Structure 1
Amino acid sequence: MLGLASICAGMVLCLYRLWRGPGLADRVLASDVFAFHVVALVILLSVYLRNLTFFDAALGVAIVGFASTVGFAQYIGARQRSAAADRPLQEEPHR
């Protein structure tokens, strides 16, 4: 029961970080941590019910969470590169 309570508390904190931000990277990391909390919850359910089928579901959730984090990281990197390319180059003053 303590494990379930701590996982649920962590999920609530992750949802708060998803909602409040402040930046996109914070929200991406919060969604990644939330996905791993879901994996932990599914594994805890599997142990409680003594059913190994849920381990496959936990593995699927972990893979989807990892893939989405990598995708968002690619998006953030591309967005930063395009923002850097749009900025004019600063010239050094002549001495």
Structure 2
Amino acid sequence: MSALHSVERGLIIAAGCMILLAGALIVIRIWRGPSMLDRAVALDVVAALIIAGIGAKSALDMDPFYFPVMLVLAFLGFTGSVGIARFIAVRDRPPRRGDGKDVTR
């Protein structure tokens, strides 16, 4: 095993440790998030961290098998984020009066 291979392996392991640390911090954000939007953004970050973790494992094993899995997870994370954003947008819409105009505060 060459020195370059050892450095590469060490950097990939360090990236995996940072991904795990970020995962622990994002769980705290999901738990404490003051609003639903904070929790939705945190869940989107969780999807990105899962993809990054799979990418680090793929790089460590030097196996391209996981690339389509990462692509599908990215698509699911995106569609989930859009769905949550639409749900929050409908829920947080200002109330309307009987004539169809928004109620001002």
TM range (shorter): 0.7 to 0.9
Q: Is 1:24 the counterpart of 2:36 in the alignment?
A: yes
Superposed displacement of residue 89, structure 1: 3.5
Q: Secondary structure at the match of 1:85?
A: coil
Choose the corresponding residue for 1:69, options 76, 81, 87.
Answer: 81
What is aligned with 2:92? 80
Q: Is 1:36 the counterpart of 2:53 in the alignment?
A: no
Q: Which segments of 5 or more consecutive residues in structure 2 lack a partner in the other structure?
A: 1-12
Q: What amino acid is aligned across from residue 77 of structure 2 in structure 1? A: G
* Matched ranges for 1:51-70 at <5 A: 51-70=63-82
**1:28-54 deviations in whole A, cap 9, x for unaligned?**
000001110110000111111111110
Report the identity percentage. 30
What TM-score comes out, normalization by structure 1 length?
0.85
Q: Which segments of 5 or more consecutive residues in structure 1 lack a partner in the other structure?
A: none
Structure 2 vs 1, CA of residues 70 and 47 (structure 1 numbering), >3 Å: closer, same or farther? Answer: same
Structure 1 distance, partners of 2:72, 2:21, is: 23
- The root-mean-square deviation of aligned C-alpha atoms, in Å, is 1.9
